[in-house]
Chain A
């Protein structure tokens, strides 16, 4: 019987990260004559025309990620569909007055809030543009993988075998696992994953503001139960991401729309968690800073107040953290949530995935131009080293922040209050963040 079709690269998982990986490789000049396959369990996602209402799943896209999407032509489509740039991020504590403001000196865009569906639609278009190189298999779930033996004189196939749910088989020189935090590729490759379920769920919703405003600030307040964030979608609408206990999240979903809106406004405006002691200590620290560094305390802006929530837009999903001990093996590489999963409080999740793509595509492009075997560990290990070095510190820091801000104990509140105020006053630290 004929051997199954052989691809140079198979990407398993057609979410934002998997699709972007396939699109970026498809647009790489050194992959001009290569064969790439993208496997997606779900249907094709594309807008004929964009719906008026906003989707409740949005991502904060960093300028670096925008550059990557630009390189495969997808960013133009995003811009022509819908996105909201923001210039400023204000992050503050519910237990004190401490606040930190992020803003670029040149008043450039810090980032963009984009609906996930918009990104998917843009990527689908760009995959169509390179259909001669990239074959997308929709409604095709991969159910099994067979790994080649590492030994070199044998007569068995040296390629990775992929079996689809409908019985079709593919072979590939390199398998890229972009199949999310419950990655089947990672499990079948027997790569150990360090994971931890947070006792939190995120509640998302599309909100309408009381009055139209410039709305180019991203807001995040750390409550003892978890951070609540308001991400701008337009001058009159914002997206909610509220990380809180599972019980509270269920309550928020169950309550009527008015109570839901009240809870949100109260979360942003109420000072019930303040204690006189912390307020006094914070104020004292702030005056100390303003003596040393007059510009070190920023103007506190007031977040917008919410009037309405889009019906049907409320949803919740559980949160966790995860990190694969290895990102690569012979003929296998993991990217995106398959490799690492973070808490949404830092707005980094999908940006880490796009960063993985930029790095892996760079190494694969060089390998292709050298005529190398694409599945060779030599360049895959370079990708792993670069990305682990970058990702581990960020994931660890996010985890620490999450734990630090989940308490009302005065010593820890004082620590983080002073820490936040100090960080706000110190440009070098802020720039790194």
Chain B
């Protein structure tokens, strides 16, 4: 019953067709210079690399048959949406991928560009662009093998638009990796009250519980927009050791791997869905 309740709460429809929320942008602008301090405000994101990079790497390796010694992701084009200071783009670049990192906050892109500039290998493999996802859709149709949207969907204004754009810039059978935070009582207590207000694991005001995304809703949006969800795994942060691990429960943080279907992206057959969702989607179609 609880999950049905969530389905019927409509996400606020943005009239700008943009997934970027300007309030969110301002929050990140203030901390643009703090990205690369491994012990600073973004420490938890740095240590998240220890599980999200192997997750992406191993999933992609299991799906391909070639392996280039020393460069496991060689030849793969990755789009890092909401790349921030490049914390995730850089490890993916080091593993051999060609990475395009986009972020709407110009200071973030500046920080990311400067940080990669000292390493000639990374400087060639990674390109940063100050842009929203919608802005690159036209020129990047079916361009990328992989999209990673890590700790991003809980900040976007319109999640469905975001997912549709992902589908458009991904090649058929391309992979989408998302990590985000569930919307539960537990995530409010631990993710906001403890993490932001009490322990300072996350800078205060970073997250709004209202915008957290339950995995059922995310899965539903993905499946209705031409994606097939392959795996959903819970993640847990241990503030004492400063490290992340995988866990069964998705009640806090979780990671999703979805694959874009081979056919050009279309929504699923309408008769499979409850009444309210059909109403929602026809409303969206009307404004598109």
A residues whose Cβ falls under 8 Å from a Cβ of B: 6, 29-34, 151-153, 155, 157-159, 368-373, 376-378
- Bound form: Cα–Cα A137–B78 in Å: 38
Residues of A within 8 A of B81 (CB): none
Contacts A32-B70, A153-B36, A378-B47 aside, 10 further interface pairs with beta carbons under 8 A come to A33-B69, A152-B38, A152-B40, A155-B114, A369-B72, A370-B53, A371-B94, A372-B91, A373-B90, A376-B38
Instruction: List 26 contacting pairs A-B, 8 Å CB cutoff, sorted by A.
Output: A6-B120, A31-B70, A32-B71, A33-B69, A33-B70, A33-B96, A34-B70, A151-B37, A152-B33, A152-B34, A153-B33, A153-B36, A158-B118, A368-B70, A368-B94, A369-B57, A369-B95, A370-B54, A370-B57, A370-B91, A371-B90, A371-B91, A371-B92, A371-B93, A371-B94, A372-B91
- Bound form: Cα–Cα A370–B51 in Å: 9
Interface membership of chain B positions 37-55, coded 1 if the CB is closer than 8 angstroms to chain A and 0 otherwise: 1101000000101100110
- Bound form: Cα–Cα A155–B113 in Å: 12
Q: Are A370 and B49 in contact (CB under 8 A)?
A: yes
Known contacts being A370-B49, A370-B54, A370-B91, is A32 close to B69, with CB within 8 Å?
yes
Residues of A within 8 A of B72 (CB): 369
Q: Is B132 among interface residues, defined by CB-CB distance under 8 A?
A: no
Q: With both chains docked as a complex, state the minimum distance between the C-beta of B39 and any C-beta of chain A, in angstroms.
A: 9
Q: Is B111 among interface residues, defined by CB-CB distance under 8 A?
A: yes
A-B contact count (CB 8 A): 59
- Name B's interface SS: helix
Residues of B within 8 A of A157 (CB): 118
Q: Is B119 among interface residues, defined by CB-CB distance under 8 A?
A: yes
Q: Are B118 and A159 in contact (CB under 8 A)?
A: yes
CB closest chain-B residue, reference A150: B37
Known contacts being A153-B33, A153-B36, A378-B38, is A29 close to B94, with CB within 8 Å?
no
Q: Are A33 and B91 in contact (CB under 8 A)?
A: no
Q: With both chains docked as a complex, state the minimum distance between the C-beta of A365 and any C-beta of chain B, in angstroms.
A: 11
With an 8 Å Cβ cutoff, the count of chain B residues facing the other chain is 29
- Bound form: Cα–Cα A152–B38 in Å: 9
- Bound form: Cα–Cα A405–B114 in Å: 60
Residues of B within 8 A of A153 (CB): 33-34, 36, 111
Residues of B within 8 A of A34 (CB): 70
Residues of A within 8 A of B91 (CB): 370-372
Residues of A within 8 A of B54 (CB): 370
Residues of B within 8 A of A33 (CB): 69-71, 96
Known contacts being A157-B118, A371-B94, is A29 close to B49, with CB within 8 Å?
no
Q: Are B33 and A30 in contact (CB under 8 A)?
A: no
Q: Are A152 and B70 in contact (CB under 8 A)?
A: no
